[in-house]
Structure 1
Amino acid sequence: MGNPVYCFDDCRLDPLARELTRNGVSVALPASAFDCLVYLIENRARPVGKDELISAVWGRADVSDNLLAQTIVRLRRSLGDAGNDQHCIKTVPRVGYRWMLDTSIVVQVSEPVSLHVQAMDEASDAAHVARTSQSATRLRPALLIALLLTVAVAAVYWGLQFHGARAATPALPFDHSSAIVLPATVQGPDDWKWLQLGMMDLISNQLRTAKVPTESSQNVLNLLNQKDKESGGDLASFALVISPRVTLVDNTWHVHLDAKSRDGHGWQAESSSADVLGAAHAAGDLLLAQLGYGAGSTPHGGDSQQQYLLRIEAAQLAGHPDLAKSLIDQAPPDLRRTPEFVYAEADFHCNAGEVERCEQAFNDLLKHLPADKQVLRGKVLTSLWYSYYRKHQFAQGEEALNEAVRLLQGKKDIEALATAYLDRSHLEFFEAKLDEAAMDLGLARVNYTLAGDTVGQSKVDVSMAEIAEQRGQFAQELTLSQQAYEHFQRMGMRELLSMPLQGLVYSHKMLLQFPDELAATELYWPFEQKNMQFCDDYVRRALVILRAVALADSGRTSEASAVLEQLLGQFKSTDEAAQRAWAQALLAELSLERGETQPALAWITRAMDGSALKEDDNKRNIAQAWLTNINILLRAGRADDLKRTVAAMQTWAAPLAAHDEWIELYVMRATAAEAWSEGKHEQAFEQLKLAMALADKLGVPDLIVSVGQPYAQVLLSTGNVDQAVAVSGRLSSWSELDWRVAWTEACVYRALGQMSAWEKYRGKAQALAGDRPELTEPAVLGF
């Protein structure tokens, strides 16, 4: 059979192995981006329409042009196609895209495979290596023997251990058809090539155990070896085709499963471990959970009990809490009595947002744990970190995590120790101990790496992204969030996607990358279409709020308000008060931007009523709400109320501003608003000048524009045109992105008498402003 490999510039693309290398170095791409690249190259003789490309890559028509454009941008960056050159992928106006590079094809020929002959040869080679090879010692001889036995007796073993397995509301039906598993692609030492068939058999048996009708390996190999069927066209008749890939990197095995149904849908699952057998089982469990299949089994102890617990964890990670609950409810009595099961059940309640029930279960477990269960005790103490966080008992939480670290140090469960460091960093982060948090994250990463846990490493990336956000390093946050999102997505761990998604959206916003910000929200919106219904209420509401902000940033403020008002209608009286107040503050801000002063007053009054908003852990959100309130009062001409509100804000911010320059910046803008309302223009100038210097120091584009736009406007309104020109020039690099910058430039040109430029930039500003009121006259819009 021939396997085409495409070569261009310094790159090599192997579609079958799903590998792109540049100068011999592997280039990581999301699955959709990889498929997009392959399709463009395969059809390089012509332009490919956007609809055609979306259909070919995503298999459905509801994918937005923004997501496609984001995928193309990512491809260009990965291929070194920077700037506007488009020497790799050219945009064809009103059509789509076309591959431009000279591309050569190398056909790799693979020898036909015979199950009986090659399997015995591979097994013989492996047995020989177990006796003579030095390289096998790093992977433990016992593991090698276990793998050989697994290939031989997997069907019997799983049939006995999980005799009662059944499917739990499968997402993928197998009526009148079956699944097949192809031979694995193995990237590792030559003595492990036998895994091509060993992994194929292992995954096939795992599918059959879960009651997924699966073709035998013999039948699949016979099909592949028929000379007149080299095209593989007959594979399209199967309900599901699974392509395993096994890679050994730095003594860690990565098992990746790429599954595609005949209707074009795709799933991916990956697991990493120093134990290739464990990685294979974990990846298989994760894929089954994504497909909606679980195992209602009767484990008899030992490894089978551990496997059952891993299936519960896989169901949660895949975003199927109903499946996880079913597994918990059906667990046999002998398993239910173990402390490990009690821990797994408590963890399920935590992930389901049932915080009180989760906390009670963990505390009860601590009271009854035998003295010899030190590792489990350490894991329970680690899991209680969120309870301490919710109660703002940071010191007690750190003390508990310190004990967890002491219990886990020197034990075999390196992953548990890594998690203790990770969760201790969360508490340190919320106490603004960023250096200590970063140090613990470094310890967590090292231990996750030693454990071969790449998911844990990506969790560290998410936490490092949060620290980067707090420090205003949004380019770094964007990179870390993107890496974590792609890794969780590739591994099929949908439960973990929400945190990097929030980081992606927010970092794009603060960098003024508004189309990318909106496109990032379309990775999860609408929830039902993007299969994100599993998110708990708090996370879902946070993602909804981010969606509304992204809509407003793209000029769709009315739609953003509708999303927020619909969200408020879904809150219950016991729901998070701070989240509700933050949504109300955003509605006030949007009303103000549309010139609706009275509705803005009504919304901000609700948001600031009582102490709900002040319970928000993000003090910058509170500072922004204060400033919104002040700008509304300024617009309404309520000078006395404005003065009282500024004084109250200054009192609130006094103990915070010394530790957070963002809050100091908000206070400067509020003070400038008060001075302006009282006609003290020089004082307003001075405050805005200080705020501009601080914003430049922080270096965050959104902060710079938020200060620079009102600064330039007040300068213009008092005849300080030269200074306004200087401020406008500082902002001009963002005039194609942000309506506030384009409007500032327009006003400057008008003041200079450049009327054609005034009209040009006013039109640009209006287009970017979207449904905001018509921009006609220079005016101070707010501080």
Structure 2
Amino acid sequence: MIHGVFHFGDCAINIAARELLRGGERVNLAPVVFDCLAYLIEHRDRAVGRDELVAAVWGKAGISDAVMGKTVLVARRAIGDTAEEQRYLRTVPRFGYQWGAPTRFEPPAADAPAPVAAVPVAVPPARTPRAPLYAMLALLALACALVWLRSRDTVTTTAPPAAALAADVTVVLPVDVAANADDGWLRLGLMDYIASRLRAAGVTVLPSDNVVRLVPAGTARDAAVALARGVAVRSHVVAAVVRRAGDAWFVRAELIEPDGATHAAQAQTDNAIGAGAQVADQLLDLLGRRRPDAAPGATGLSLAERLQRVDAARLAGDPAQARALIAAADTLTQAAPEMQLRLAQIDLRGGAFEASRDRLATLVAHVSAEAEPLLHARAQSYYCIALARTNRMDAALPACDRAIALLEPAGRPDELGRVYNDRGIIRLLRHEYDLAARDFAQARVASNLAGDALQLTKVEGNESTLEMAQGRYAEAVAIQQRIGERFARFGMHNEVVASLNNQTDTHLALLQPLEALKMNDRALALIDRVADASIRYLTKLQRADALARNGRLGEARQLFDEVLHEADGAPYAPERAIARTGQARLNLAAGRAGDALLLARQALPDLPAPPYGTVRADAWLIAIRSLHALGRTGEAAEETRAFAAWAAGDDDPVVTLYARLAVAEQAAAERRDADARHAYDDALTGAKRWGVPNALAEVAGSYGRWLLARGELSQAATVLGLVARYAEADYDCAVLQLSLYRALGQEGAARNALAAVRRLAGERPVPPDNGAATQAQ
């Protein structure tokens, strides 16, 4: 697809963005009208025949002259043309149409030429499947839901993030500590304690993990205040200092109003937490809020301080210190449910999902929902995540349900937003898209009410993943760009890379391989800052796919090998399976069907669905095609039946398409032509309904090659015309066009198609220029 803007008259059309402007105003067009204009403008160097235009725009032959004429009439009106004047869109009698307007093309910024390399060898007869990474993206979304548990990398924030929150938010800054080195935990521990006490009284407080990202250590007070004011339309800022003098602790805080006015609160006791509680209560008086339950007495201070020390270590990204603090406590403190919950969170953060799951199962069994509803709800919410990360989705949903049922009447939007988001992710993985959308909408409302800027951004990211899972890439990419900027300003490298990976996959699905590689370059530049190993591996796997799609096969193979060697251990079995699938794809394209079959079969057991259904379908189709290439048609038939039976229970559209394609190719191999045609038509209908170029090219390519082999050139032209528009950027589509034009005896068009193949090939094979209009083999 061409990126950039075409200008003519007072109009401008951006084909990639599907936008037509006339006189600076957007013109809304039906999809077929826009596609008709786009195709004629893209091929403005020649007249376009009626049949070619029908194939490219409608994808079928049964379009009447009346429908065609009406479409052209509407297109002309949209750009200010008429049938009489024909200033822009000219009718070619008894043939078709031609674009006739002087047109200027404005390329996008920093546009780079496609790689050029050619090896004059035979073109492989079949295109290997290229499944989009929906399953990987969903896993990334789940990983991002756990980021604050699993990573706390060093941040560098130089500018305030865009105000994502409309609420009136209070931001408690890290506390300045004037005490011994051993008291450094108070910087984050006392900050989190004051924030929690304000929140318990109903104040909307920016969560502590947001603040840690926003204001890294060493930030000057004035700069920290400026950063805090950028997160919402109105922000109250609390800047506190704690000082130790002998056995006494002195805490003083300033409340800075949105208009700059300041108020002071201070307290002195023999304990820092006790002094912090008194200061928090005075701040509540200044904010006009009712104080919560009494501050902890002497008997409760020991546990409260220990919890805050643990939380400070977790906020600082030091899980080992947090675990050591718990281990150093007395037996009674270690057994406290609040401390067991911290241990489970630390396990989740460290990737010990089974250990966390087991600990949380014990906790929810022993903490009464009636006596301690908030603590039970928190335990259930993390239990939901632990179950999901151990691939027990059916059990995870009820845990989320129970947490939500307890949190809704408790008035805790901070907790509720996170759980709704987690449940939405699980429903997304289960392809329950309507229910996922509802959960994300609830999570958005709750996160905004809670003043949780990071959680709100994560929700938006998951909403974009939901759009992608339903084939709505144009809607998703704008969201991803916006949230990527927010995550970057918070220094959240895991989420930034996940957002870039989503944008990379968008370009791959839209058959824009060069743009995908450019986006992945940005992700790879940050990979050393990513703490989550799954995201690192998936970034490399996505790069390998993008490299292969740009013809850089050697580099792609090297990256697949790298992931196989680095992703060691049971938690990363899916990543290794994805790498094997990628290797199998490359081997099948290179004619090494035996190696491809072995790799695909090795990958299948480690790709459960959900969340890896799409990649599993990819591997299964590669295995079946490998069997066909080896002449083992009987085994292929058995695999096809098993594949189709498995896919029948999965409503993922790509899984369904690949299964239909396997059935069609099996019928073709067995020379059951009527069955093959029916299955191909069924698959093509599904691909057009799904509307994602990558899937459409997969089906149209297989169907078109079968029709060419049978000599059904007119029908082949209709089918392959569906992907003609992508031949300028996608190697496989260019090869298909070359095969079609040679079969039709169109020497000039074949030469142009061959030039495109050579330009896009990289290390992939290019057919010889034999100077004859013979069919490519």
- How high is the TM-score relative to the length of structure 1? 0.60
Alpha-carbon contact 1:620-1:663 (below 8 Å) kept: yes
Alignment of 1:623-638 (within 5 A): 623-638=617-632
Query: By how many angstroms is 1:406 displaced?
Result: 2.2
Alignment-derived partner of residue 301 in structure 2: none
Alignment-derived partner of residue 730 in structure 1: 722
Alignment-derived partner of residue 358 in structure 2: 360
Q: Which amino acid aligns with 2:752?
A: K
Q: Deviations over 1:352-371 (max 9, x none)?
A: 21112222333344456587
Alignment-derived partner of residue 554 in structure 1: 550
Say whether 1:545 aligns with 2:541: yes
Alignment-derived partner of residue 324 in structure 2: 329
Alignment-derived partner of residue 450 in structure 1: 449
Going from structure 1 to structure 2, the CA distance change for 1:650 and 1:367 (only over 3 Å counts) comes to closer
Q: Deviations over 1:400-431 (max 9, x none)?
A: 22221122123343110111222222333333
Going from structure 1 to structure 2, the CA distance change for 1:166 and 1:392 (only over 3 Å counts) comes to closer
What is the SS of the residue equivalent to 1:522? helix
Query: By how many angstroms is 1:576 displaced?
Result: 4.1
Alignment of 1:485-524 (within 5 A): 485-524=484-523
Alpha-carbon contact 1:415-1:448 (below 8 Å) kept: yes
Alignment-derived partner of residue 344 in structure 2: 346
CA distance, structure 2, for counterparts of residue 276 and residue 496 of structure 1:
31
Say whether 1:574 aligns with 2:553: no
What is the SS of the residue equivalent to 1:569? helix
Alpha-carbon contact 1:382-1:400 (below 8 Å) kept: yes
Alpha-carbon contact 1:556-1:771 (below 8 Å) kept: yes
What is the SS of the residue equivalent to 1:524? helix
What is the SS of the residue equivalent to 2:570? coil
Alignment-derived partner of residue 483 in structure 1: 482
Q: Which amino acid aligns with 1:686?
A: H
CA distance, structure 1, for counterparts of residue 275 and residue 347 of structure 2:
24
Alpha-carbon contact 2:621-2:658 (below 8 Å) kept: yes
Alignment-derived partner of residue 657 in structure 2: 665
CA distance, structure 2, for counterparts of residue 627 and residue 216 of structure 1:
59
Alpha-carbon contact 2:467-2:476 (below 8 Å) kept: yes
Alignment-derived partner of residue 164 in structure 1: 183
2:106 corresponds, among 66, 85, 88, to: 85
CA distance, structure 2, for counterparts of residue 574 and residue 557 of structure 1:
28
Query: By how many angstroms is 1:446 displaced?
Result: 0.5
CA distance, structure 2, for counterparts of residue 92 and residue 733 of structure 1:
20
What is the SS of the residue equivalent to 1:719? coil
Query: By how many angstroms is 1:444 displaced?
Result: 1.0
Alignment-derived partner of residue 642 in structure 1: 636
Structure 2, unaligned stretches of length 5 or more? 1-23, 25-102, 115-166, 188-210, 239-254, 261-270, 278-303
Alignment-derived partner of residue 424 in structure 2: 425
CA distance, structure 1, for counterparts of residue 441 and residue 186 of structure 2:
41
Going from structure 1 to structure 2, the CA distance change for 1:313 and 1:642 (only over 3 Å counts) comes to same
Alpha-carbon contact 1:578-1:615 (below 8 Å) kept: no
Alpha-carbon contact 2:467-2:475 (below 8 Å) kept: yes
Higher RCO (Cα < 8 Å, 6 or more apart): 2
Q: Deviations over 1:67-88 (max 9, x none)?
A: xxxxxxxxxxxxxxx994369x
Alignment-derived partner of residue 78 in structure 2: none
Say whether 1:617 aligns with 2:604: no
Alignment-derived partner of residue 690 in structure 2: 698
Say whether 1:749 aligns with 2:745: no
Going from structure 1 to structure 2, the CA distance change for 1:487 and 1:167 (only over 3 Å counts) comes to same
Query: By how many angstroms is 1:390 displaced?
Result: 4.6
- My pick for the range that moved more, 471-480 or 334-343, is 334-343
CA distance, structure 1, for counterparts of residue 722 and residue 529 of structure 2:
43
- How high is the TM-score relative to the length of structure 2? 0.61
Q: Deviations over 1:163-193 (max 9, x none)?
A: 633999xxxxxxxxxxxxxxxxxxxxxxxxx
Query: By how many angstroms is 1:668 displaced?
Result: 2.0
Alignment-derived partner of residue 684 in structure 1: 676
Query: By how many angstroms is 1:776 displaced?
Result: 4.1
Alpha-carbon contact 1:488-1:496 (below 8 Å) kept: yes
CA distance, structure 2, for counterparts of residue 666 and residue 559 of structure 1:
27
What is the SS of the residue equivalent to 2:750? helix
CA distance, structure 2, for counterparts of residue 467 and residue 85 of structure 1:
32
Query: By how many angstroms is 1:647 displaced?
Result: 1.9
CA distance, structure 1, for counterparts of residue 168 and residue 667 of structure 2:
71
CA distance, structure 1, for counterparts of residue 445 and residue 545 of structure 2:
37
Alpha-carbon contact 1:746-1:758 (below 8 Å) kept: yes
Query: By how many angstroms is 1:384 displaced?
Result: 1.0
Alpha-carbon contact 1:714-1:780 (below 8 Å) kept: no
Q: Which amino acid aligns with 1:766?
A: R
What is the SS of the residue equivalent to 2:529? coil
Going from structure 1 to structure 2, the CA distance change for 1:362 and 1:518 (only over 3 Å counts) comes to same
- My pick for the range that moved more, 561-570 or 333-342, is 333-342
Alpha-carbon contact 1:378-1:407 (below 8 Å) kept: yes
CA distance, structure 1, for counterparts of residue 436 and residue 659 of structure 2:
28
Alignment-derived partner of residue 284 in structure 1: none
Alignment of 1:205-354 (within 5 A): 212=218, 244=227, 246-247=229-230, 249-251=232-234, 311-316=312-317, 323-326=318-321, 328-329=323-324, 333=329, 339-354=337-352
Q: Deviations over 1:240-294 (max 9, x none)?
A: x997473374445699xxxxxxxxxxxxxxxxxxx9799x9xxxxxxxxxxxxxx
CA distance, structure 2, for counterparts of residue 83 and residue 405 of structure 1:
56
CA distance, structure 2, for counterparts of residue 722 and residue 428 of structure 1:
44
Going from structure 1 to structure 2, the CA distance change for 1:498 and 1:726 (only over 3 Å counts) comes to same
Q: Which amino acid aligns with 1:637?
A: G
Alpha-carbon contact 1:555-1:771 (below 8 Å) kept: yes
CA distance, structure 2, for counterparts of residue 311 and residue 573 of structure 1:
30
Alpha-carbon contact 2:588-2:626 (below 8 Å) kept: yes
Size of the aligned set, in residue pairs, is 537
CA distance, structure 2, for counterparts of residue 325 and residue 84 of structure 1:
58
Q: Which amino acid aligns with 1:85?
A: E
Q: Which amino acid aligns with 2:433?
A: L
Structure 1, unaligned stretches of length 5 or more? 1-22, 24-81, 95-137, 169-201, 221-240, 256-274, 281-296, 317-322
Going from structure 1 to structure 2, the CA distance change for 1:706 and 1:413 (only over 3 Å counts) comes to same
CA distance, structure 2, for counterparts of residue 780 and residue 601 of structure 1:
26
